Homo-oligomer: A and B are copies of this chain.
Amino acid sequence: MKRKITLKQIARELDVSISTVSKALRNSIEISEDTREKVQAFAKLYNYRPNNIALSLKNRKTKTIGVIIPEIVHHFFSKVIRGIELVANKRGYNVIVGLSNESFDKEVINMQMLANGSIDGFILSISKETLQQQDYHHFKETISQGMPIVMFDRVVNEINCDKVIIDDLKGSKNAVNKLLANGCKNVAIITTKDYVSVGKLRTQGYLEALDDYKMSPKADLILKVDDALVSEDHLASLELEIEALFKKNNAIDGVFAVNELYAIIAMKVARNLGMKIPEDIQFIGFTDGVLSKHATPSLTTVNQHGQEMGEKAAGLLIDNLERDDEEEHYQTIIIETELVERNSTK
């Protein structure tokens, strides 16, 4: 077992000084052709690579990005990570991932662990619990210590930093418009409680679309799911809620859901109730994932372009890290959504 070789060892073997080795390897003209070749050959033979940690300490930057997301077993977030990783690697950065698991405490702890020198900056999406508690001190502290943050998707106005979001309002408005244009008279929405900013905005888009069609919203067409209760394993209660929704208002002929899972489950319930899709009732979901594509019928969705979000976020962060001037000039990039029409709509 040959441990990783260091400059010091090479220097000793070749009987020169460490700095000579260092310079030789970086092809400095200070060093004679002779020694340069000798050193380089030796280094190659022993497969020398500078130690990242030492470089990080010296340069006071690690060339790694910390990513904190609420959940990784999730099509959208994993797409974002893929995007981040793509441009990070291309620009010579590594990606270190922390999961908040939608918990405030884990978010804080994870950020603390990474902020102590391990990374140069954060890319993150805020956990639900944090949004609910509206406690953002950890973000503020991190930023005030000179560590940049880029937020994506679940962002918050209180924090002044770069952001990458989609136009949730416009996206959902488009979707609901589509349903209305397709002739739906009673469009229901299945959304989340309002503390999830994106849920709130998507609900608002729904309302605006109705308004454009001179329709007034009806309370019994709006289902606000408490998704703290809807874990992967407790979807049965969601089904019941949706079933109740359909039974309470049996004129429903269109459903807009703020994520694909809600839409898929709603389709299932509708089918069980004997409705034909898309003849009797049409569905559109938010967030385009595997489920949408492979459901029967395949689901029309609003594509959030997760990978692009990740790419943009990483670009923003790295630009910031590599910018010389210290001017704070934060921007918010808005990614266009796209309605992917499939077979759940006419």
Contact with B along A193-225 (1 / 0, CB 8 A): 000000000000000000000000000000000
**Can you report 21 A-B residue pairs in the complex whose CB atoms are below 8 A from each other?**
A1-B145, A2-B144, A4-B116, A49-B115, A52-B118, A53-B118, A54-B57, A54-B117, A73-B75, A75-B290, A89-B110, A94-B96, A94-B113, A94-B114, A94-B118, A96-B97, A261-B294, A264-B294, A289-B290, A295-B295, A295-B296
> Contact: A97 with B85, CB < 8 Å?
yes
Shortest Cβ distance from residue A140 to the other chain B in the assembled complex, whole angstroms: 12
Q: How far is the CA of A3 from the CA of B296 in the complex (A)?
A: 55
Shortest Cβ distance from residue A11 to the other chain B in the assembled complex, whole angstroms: 18
Top 6 nearest A-B pairs by Cβ distance?
A51-B117, A53-B117, A52-B117, A96-B96, A49-B116, A73-B78
Count the copies.
2
A52-B117, A117-B52, A117-B54 are known contacts. Are A73 and B82 too (CB-CB below 8 A)? Answer: yes
Looking at chain A, what size class is its interface with the partner chain? 35 or more
- A50 contacts chain B at the CB level, 8 A cutoff: yes
- A340 contacts chain B at the CB level, 8 A cutoff: no
Shortest Cβ distance from residue A141 to the other chain B in the assembled complex, whole angstroms: 8
- A64 contacts chain B at the CB level, 8 A cutoff: yes
